[in-house]
Copies of this chain bind each other. A is one copy, B any other.
């Protein structure tokens, strides 16, 4: 384990376990240097990570103040699998496969001008607290993953990619819009009129910059909310 990540996780655990409460000061750089027996730069790397993610506020001359992190929870700016999201928010959820197609073309409005690739389409319905809430269309780059087994789609695609295939997911670009429900939304989300749908279209890439997948997530707008942490900087 990298030393700075060890320190980061130790501090984050203590913050999330409320051992440090909102407004408390974290131990100073010097104290952490002594506790862990590392150099100051290594401590500062851990502190910087907590700062960047909105857990603490560092003030020169004073220390690192713990912020209220209850609200930093489901940002667009994090890549989280649906499974992770459901688990960390203690939701009751089901997963249904609607259709699997292979090979398929990626729709043009997902490509944003990028060249088409050979993909496998997996369409899934997410049922949260007994209410159909999200419709997911995953176009998976079969050159990278091969054919995805049905069981992986039922459980968690990300888990399959990362743990079973050993792929390293790196970043995603997400386009967010609000659109009216189409006929598939009406049918699969079991709604009876054209209520708004939050549409998140994303392109996910691996550490080697290869495209892993294109995804379209269609959320019932009335069941949708997101919290973002944003910093102002030079």
Contacts and interface: CB of A to CB of B under 8 A. Distances in A.
Interface stretch (A29-37, A90-98, A137-145, A226-234): A226-234
Contact of A232 (B41, B169, B198): B169
A72 B172 CA distance: 11
A59 interface: yes
A71 B224 CA distance: 24
Interface string A197-234: 01000000001110000000000011011111111101
Given A52-B52, A77-B75, A170 B232 contact: yes
Interface stretch (A102-110, A118-126, A175-183): A175-183
Nearest to A170: B232
Q: How many identical chains are in the complex?
A: 2
Q: What secondary structure prevails in chain A residues at the interface with B?
A: strand
Given A196-B196, A209-B65, A234 B5 contact: yes
Contacts of A175: 71, 225-227
Given A71-B175, A75-B230, A178-B221, 14 more contacts: A41-B41, A52-B52, A57-B209, A59-B208, A76-B230, A77-B77, A79-B231, A170-B231, A170-B232, A172-B229, A176-B225, A177-B225, A178-B178, A196-B196
Interface string A159-182: 000000000011111111110000
Contact of A77 (B177, B228, B234): B228
Interface string A6-48: 0000000000000000000000000000000000010000000
Contacts of A229: 77, 171-174
**Which of A57, A196, A224, A230 has its CB near the most chain B CB atoms (within 10 A)?**
A230
Given A170-B57, A198-B178, A79 B232 contact: yes
B71 A173 contact: yes
